[in-house]
Amino acid sequence: MIYSRQREVILGALRSTRSHPTAEELYSMIKPENPGISLATVYRDLNQLAAHGMILRIHAKSGPDRFDGNTSEHYHAVCSECGRTVDIFTDDMPDVCAAANGQDEIQVSSVLMLFAGVCKQCRESQQDTILKGEPS
């Protein structure tokens, strides 16, 4: 992988945010300062960066893939209310692969986990709603 300006820009943009942007969102983020760039290049470079382990691909249940410039070990959860993808950092994740290896039909070596829940923001606005007496 030889040097490329576009890839550097894309990687920089991805590392500068914690919002787990999609390819299109990243494209919109960098387009103003890089008017010549094309969406196809964003897709291509994201694929390469992911293949080289330099970024993470978050494969959501619905909608386009999201990307994360933080490759340190962590997990992701999608808020069922607002749809945002948030990071989860923990050292206590149990070894689910070991648990999955009880039978010999398949020898498991890795797992993809995607959590779902309600984020802090949405919990707080739900509480506000309850206090205001609005119907649930």
Partner DNA sequence: ATCCGTGCAAAGAATTTGCATACAT
Partner DNA sequence: ATGTATGCAAATTCTTTGCACGGAT
Q: Which residues of 21-42 are buried (b: 16+ CB within 10 A; e: fewer)?
A: bbbebbbebbeeebeebeeebb
Rounded to the nearest angstrom, the gap between the alpha carbon of residue 67 and the centroid of all alpha carbons in its chain is 5
Query: Among 34, 70, 108, 118, which residue sits at the site for DNA (rule: CB under 7 A)?
Result: 34
Take residue 44 and report the two structure tokens written for it: 């291509």
Binds 41: which of DNA, a copy of itself, none (CB < 5-8 Å by kind): DNA
Choose between 52 and 132: whose C-beta lies nearer to DNA: 52
Closest-CA residue to 126 (of 85, 25, 134, 114): 134
Choose between 41 and 70: whose C-beta lies nearer to DNA: 41
Listed in sequence order, the residues at least 6 apart from 35 whose beta carbon sits closer than 8 Å to its beta carbon are none
Could you say which residues in the range 4-63 bind a copy of itself, by CB under 8 A? 59, 61
Residues that bind DNA (CB under 7 A): 1-7, 22-24, 34, 36-41, 43-45, 47-48, 63-65
Residues that bind a copy of itself (CB under 8 A): 59, 61, 75, 77, 79-80, 86-90, 92-97, 99-100, 102-120, 123
